[in-house]
Amino acid sequence: MARLGIYDDDSAPHSVDTLYAALKREGAVKVPPGSVPPVMGCIIVPGGDRGVRKYYLDTNAPSIPVLGVSEGETEGLLAQVDVKDVYRHTERLRAANYSTDEISRLEVNVDDTNRYQVLNDATVCSAKSAMLMEYLLTIDGEEFWHDSSDGVIVSTPLGSTAYAMSAGGPMIFAGSPVFGVISINSQDVERRPLVVPQDSVVGVSEISSRRQCEVMLDGAERVAVRESVSFSKSDPPARIVRLRRDTISISAMAKRHHLSGDLFNMAPSAKLLLKTLEYEGTLSRRKLAERTMLPDRTVRMSLASLIEKGYVKRRVSARDARQKMYEISQPTAPRSGQPGRNTGA
């Protein structure tokens, strides 16, 4: 029987304690970052989709199956199970009675000095939002374009339904051996997104802006960049445990199909709130205002609009009944003649 590990990076202590209390009799152990044994049968990662993305930012993460779990009602693309329900699947996990989705990862090399791994995307941009950045894009060492834009996104197929799609990129089926390259608000109105083979090396160099530029990794970590960034396929791929029959590919496409049209007509502040909740998980209105740097009134009005359309839902905090929390709504089947109320993770 496979041994179970519970990933503990101090970001979700309540979930870790709940999981350990439920699984310690089964021999489950807490595992801190950087010390996941490669012989572990399955590693359980709390924190929902954001927790799984953070786990895979560790370049030394071994190639073992990962079960992402969430806290609350919200599910994602990577996390299918609520933390309080994991005990129901213990026998299946220990017997490895599940399927896994193998997801391509992207290796990000910053200034030929530091290497990182991402599941969704990496964005090169100015540290100050909406400030133009000039750069040279190369594919396998060949110059492809010079551009002046708000930045450039390099996306995995999984990430194609996240920030990349909001910036005008294509939806890419998760099994496709390609990456997406999307310029953000290019000054060249004819600039179009690219789809390149995963064995390509994408380079962004000759970077310049009035402010320091940086690389945003899966929306969770920012790294300063001086001169250049390169992107290539990372091995091994991520292995995500699936306890249900639906796949990440189909889930992502279903969740984004109806939302894609709405995004083009949605107010920029509402788009920003959606992307912040997507990357950060459940947040209070005050935290949303802090993360987005939007005025409280704008946050309040945008949330009201998103709630009315069904993209965001409000619930009472489990820790403080006086506080309201906001999160991405679960996918629901669209009613006849109406758009679905879905969003991705």
Q: What is the pLDDT of residue 180?
A: 95
Whole-angstrom distance, CA of residue 305 vs CA of residue 52: 29
**Is residue 332 predicted with pLDDT exceeding 60?**
no
Whole-angstrom distance, CA of residue 1 vs CA of residue 191: 53
**Is residue 256 predicted with pLDDT exceeding 60?**
no
> For residues 44 and 69, is the Cβ–Cβ distance under 8 A?
yes
pLDDT tier at 145 (50, 70, 90 boundaries)? very high
Q: What is the pLDDT of residue 189?
A: 86
> For residues 35 and 55, is the Cβ–Cβ distance under 8 A?
no
Q: Which residue has the higher pLDDT, 275 or 254?
A: 275
Average pLDDT, the chain: 83
pLDDT tier at 183 (50, 70, 90 boundaries)? very high
| Residue 112 Rama label (left phi>0; alpha psi -120 to 50; beta) | left
Of 85-99, 233-247, 255-269, 282-296, the least confident: 255-269
**Is residue 38 predicted with pLDDT exceeding 90?**
no
Q: What is the pLDDT of residue 198?
A: 94
Domains and CATH numbers, the chain: 4-97 (3.40.50.10330), 104-235 (2.60.200.30), 258-328 (1.10.10.10)
pLDDT tier at 72 (50, 70, 90 boundaries)? low
Q: Which of 138, 143, 161, 124 is nearest to 49 (CA)?
A: 161
Whole-angstrom distance, CA of residue 271 vs CA of residue 179: 23
**Is residue 293 predicted with pLDDT exceeding 80?**
yes
Return the DSSP state at 112. Answer: T
**Is residue 168 predicted with pLDDT exceeding 60?**
yes
**Is residue 156 predicted with pLDDT exceeding 90?**
yes
Return the DSSP state at 267. Answer: -
CB atoms within 10 A of CB 221: 15
**Is residue 55 predicted with pLDDT exceeding 50?**
yes
3-state class (DSSP) for residue 226:
coil
3-state class (DSSP) for residue 258:
coil
Whole-angstrom distance, CA of residue 214 vs CA of residue 108: 12
**Strand extents, DSSP E, 158-311:** 178-184, 194-197, 202-208, 213-217, 221-225, 229-242, 283-284
Which amino acid is located at 10 in the chain?
A: D
Whole-angstrom distance, CA of residue 64 vs CA of residue 71: 23
Which amino acid is located at 336 in the chain?
A: S
The share of the chain scoring above pLDDT 70, in percent, equals 85
> For residues 160 and 137, is the Cβ–Cβ distance under 8 A?
no
**Is residue 343 predicted with pLDDT exceeding 50?**
no
Whole-angstrom distance, CA of residue 28 vs CA of residue 92: 14
Q: Which uninterrupted H or E stretch holds 122? A: strand 121-126
**Is residue 1 predicted with pLDDT exceeding 80?**
no
**Is residue 7 predicted with pLDDT exceeding 50?**
yes
pLDDT tier at 211 (50, 70, 90 boundaries)? confident
Average pLDDT for 320-335: 64
Q: What is the pLDDT of residue 155?
A: 95
> For residues 53 and 45, is the Cβ–Cβ distance under 8 A?
no
pLDDT tier at 340 (50, 70, 90 boundaries)? very low
**Is residue 337 predicted with pLDDT exceeding 50?**
no
